[in-house]
Each structure stands twice: as C-alpha cells, then as structure tokens.
Amino acid sequence: MAWLSNNEMWEAFGTRALFWAGTGSDFGEVKTTIERIGAGDIHDWTATAERIESIGDECVRRKHSVSAREAYIRAATYHRTAYYPLFGPKVESSLAESSRREWNAMVKAAPLFDPPIEILEIPYGDATLPALLMRAGTGNEPCPLIVHTNGYDSTVCEMLLGNALAGVARGYHCLLFDGPGQGRALIEQRLPMRPDWEKVVTPVVDVAVKLPGVDPEKIILVGWSFGGFLVARAAAFEPRAAAVIADPGQWDQRDNVISALPLSDEQKADFPNINPRCLDPMVEWLTGSSGDPMLRWKLLQRGPLVHAVDNLFDYLKELLAFELSAVVGNITCPILVTMADGDPSATGAPKVIDAVASKKKQLVYFTDAEGSGGHCEGTARMLYHQRTFDWLDEVLA
C-alpha cells in the first residue's frame, strides 16, 4: 500500500525522506511536497528545501541555534531527495547543484551541534574523501569510534540520521565518509566504486586511530545497504577492527545479481562471456512504458553512474568483481550481520555468518510482523539501533 503517492518513484524517494521524520524531515513537509509534485516536477523538493533552509537562516539571525540546526538538517534531506531521480550515466549539472546544496546545508548545521560536528577531508591517493566526525559526550573523553561505510546512493548527511545520532547517544564517536562511488566523492570528484574496499577503509582507519579522544583499541566498522557488503570485505583485511556490523550481510554479487537476470541457465553460468545483445530485450522492457520505473532507475541510471559505465551489460560485468567468498574467512573479530524480510540483497547473510572465522558472530533477523522488514530496516531504525548497539556494548565490554 502506498503511503504518499501512486507514482512508484515518488513513493520510493518520498518515503525514504519520511524515514527520518522527527530528526531529518517532517511528515507534513514530505506529504505536501509529494502532493505538489503530482505529474512529476521533482524541483518541488528543491523548493521545499529552500523554504526550510531560509527558516534556518532566520533562526541563526535571531540566535535560535537548535531551531536553525533542525531546519538545516531537514533542508539537506530535501535537497538530497531532489537529486535521486537525476542519477544517470553522466553527472548532469542539476544533480551536481543539488548535491552541493545538500552539503552546504549540512555545513551550516555542523557548528550548531553540541559538540560541533567536525568536517574532515580524508587523504585518499591523489584525492580526499569528505567526512563528518560526530563526537559523543563532551567530545574530549576517550570513546570507541564507529567508522561508517556508506551505501550505493546514500551520503554522509543521510548516514548521520540513520546511524550517527543513535551512536553518539550511546557513547560512540562516529566517523562518516563518502567513499568512491558514493555521495560527493562520486558526484563532485567522479570517483567510481571499487571492489577492493579495504583500499578505502585502511586510509580512513589510519586517520581515525590518530583522532583525539578516540580509543584506538575500539574501532568498529559498520556498513549499511551496499556498505554491508563493502564493510565485510574491508574487515577481512583490517586487523584494527574491534567489531563489525554488516547491515545487511551480502555475498558475492554474482549470486545476488546474475541469478536474477532473464537469461538461460547456460548464459548465466557463462556471463559475461556471452553476446551483450542478449540483454537487449531487458533494456527494451525497462525503457518501455510497461517497464518497472524503480528497476530502470537502479539498473540504467544509478548503477552506471556509480561504476562509471554507460550501459547495462558493462554495469553487470563490473559487479562480478565484487566478491567476498574468497576473503570472508579472514574475519576474526566479532561480527553482527542483519537480514530482513523483503530484502533480496540480504539473502547471502547466512553464508557470511557461516564463513567467518570469528568466535563471536550473530545473525539478527528483522521481520515484517514487527514492522522492520525491508531494506536496511528503514521503517524501524530504532529497533535496529537497539539490537545492534546492545550487541556492540556487550561485545566491547
């Protein structure tokens, strides 16, 4: 049943904004924006973002810092929602502009937190990765640090809402970063996703262990959405990890993706050593009037952008390099893996748990019956936080 719109894409993106109601959005603001969009003028999200950001500016002028912070965070959510449909093989100017405005709203909010959010640029080869550091308590006492790996189409601003606020409330510093293929690193720096995620997390941890007030013996790696795959891959190579949480657990992407293609069993087994034209009927269906709009967005817009390719075949071919099976046995630290009803990306979670060498491992199920089914427990993040942070508290103790 649709919550906001019968348009599948507007429903998907609108409910994603709605997930953060109370911290990063307001129900009424989301609902009225969706109603204005109607036939599909996605710029109404930008109009809402501008209106709320102007409230934040006025609150700053009148020295209402909490109100200003809340407005800027909501504005960042709406700027982000505005650019999701704009994903495509190439970064268009409208996508880049909305991304910058999301980030700028967060920059305005950062000093209004207590303690203030620190904005970092983490060295990464010849580039840097944008990052936010949220500190627990007063920000001075030694605390464990969670290093969050992002997902396929999220940003550090959304990770703050979905992960960091709950972490700092429980005494964890949180370091959020956009890696290659994610957020500003993708949209502004054109850094594509890479399968050897250990080459991304290692330089991040190099910075993390030297941060003031961080207990270097308690560095936790957490990943959500596609980050659930990436963080497990990184953990297999990172001996400084005290614990790992993969939300959700995922196996080799060949298992997740190729098995679902409308190809013969022989073609699936031989992929990518098949004629690329075999996928033409699928592309024609996706781009036609009867095609699934969200699947079209994922396979023909988002995926090619993230991996810097321009067609479905090359995108799927890129995914084959994302393998966990060969290295997952190297994970020896405590690990928690999630699996939720209705989330096809999580079907490999039991394989991850079975394969890791850790003596402290747990698979946590989230169900439709308790309202926590679906990708990344989007409708029940508080339940997710309770289960995962309680586990983490006990493991680190």
- Stretch 360-364: mean pLDDT, rounded? 97
Q: What is the pLDDT of residue 260?
A: 85
Both 148 and 277 in one domain: the answer is no
Both 10 and 125 in one domain: the answer is no
pLDDT at 1 over 70: no
Number of domains in the chain: 3
Both 130 and 220 in one domain: the answer is yes
Direct distance between the N- and C-terminal alpha carbons of the chain, in angstroms, rounded to an integer: 43
Contacts of 6 by beta carbon, 8 Å cutoff, 6+ apart: none
Give the least confident one: 86-90, 162-166, 194-198, 387-391.
86-90
Contacts of 316 by beta carbon, 8 Å cutoff, 6+ apart: 257, 258, 261, 271, 272, 279
Contacts of 369 by beta carbon, 8 Å cutoff, 6+ apart: none
Both 175 and 302 in one domain: the answer is no
Q: What is the pLDDT of residue 41?
A: 64
Alpha-carbon distance of 312 to 291, in angstroms, equals 15
Both 148 and 291 in one domain: the answer is no
Q: What is the CATH number of the domain that holds 222?
A: 3.40.50.1820
Q: What is the pLDDT of residue 40?
A: 58
Q: What is the pLDDT of residue 95?
A: 93
Give the least confident one: 27-36, 361-370, 383-392.
27-36
Both 295 and 175 in one domain: the answer is no
pLDDT at 142 over 90: no
Higher-scoring residue by pLDDT: 43, 193: 193
Per residue in 220-268, pLDDT (tens digit) is 999 999 999 999 999 999 999 999 999 999 999 998 888 889 999 999 9
Both 121 and 223 in one domain: the answer is yes
Exposure class string for 233-265: b at 16+ Cβ within 10 A, else e: bbbbbbebbbbbbbbbbbbbbbbbbbeeeebee
Q: What is the CATH number of the domain that holds 80?
A: 1.20.1440
- The secondary element (H helix, E strand) that includes residue 215 is strand 214-224
Alpha-carbon distance of 391 to 383, in angstroms, equals 12
**Token pair 């290659």 in the structure block, residue:** 180
Q: What is the pLDDT of residue 235?
A: 98
pLDDT at 331 over 70: yes
For 139-199, give the DSSP string: S-S-EEEEEEE--SS--HHHHIIIIIHHHHHTT-EEEEE--TTSHHHHHTT-PPP-S-THH
Q: What is the pLDDT of residue 58?
A: 98
Both 264 and 211 in one domain: the answer is no
Both 131 and 66 in one domain: the answer is no
Q: How far is CA 229 from CA 10, 183, 257, in A?
A: 27, 17, 13
Both 245 and 286 in one domain: the answer is no
pLDDT band at 36 (very low <50, low <70, confident <90, very high): confident
Give backbone dihedrals phi and psi of 376, rounded to 5 degrees, phi first: 55, 30
Alpha-carbon distance of 74 to 208, in angstroms, equals 28
Last residue of a domain, one of 70, 89, 112: 112
Per residue in 127-137, pLDDT (tens digit) is 999 999 999 98
DSSP category for residue 117:
P
Both 311 and 192 in one domain: the answer is no
Q: What is the pLDDT of residue 133?
A: 98
Last residue of a domain, one of 291, 319, 347: 319
Last residue of a domain, one of 71, 96, 112: 112
Both 51 and 104 in one domain: the answer is yes
pLDDT at 12 over 90: no
Six token digits for residue 24: 């990063």
- Stretch 343-370: mean pLDDT, rounded? 96
The type of residue at 303 is: G
Q: What is the pLDDT of residue 42?
A: 65
Q: What is the mean pLDDT of the chain?
A: 94
Alpha-carbon distance of 222 to 144, in angstroms, equals 13
- Stretch 293-308: mean pLDDT, rounded? 94
pLDDT band at 107 (very low <50, low <70, confident <90, very high): very high
Percent of the chain residues past pLDDT 70, beyond the cut: 98
Report the 10 Å Cβ neighbour count for 359: 8
pLDDT band at 110 (very low <50, low <70, confident <90, very high): very high
Per residue in 199-216, pLDDT (tens digit) is 999 999 999 999 999 999
Per residue in 57-78, pLDDT (tens digit) is 999 999 999 999 999 999 999 9
pLDDT band at 329 (very low <50, low <70, confident <90, very high): very high
- Domain span including residue 90: 1-112
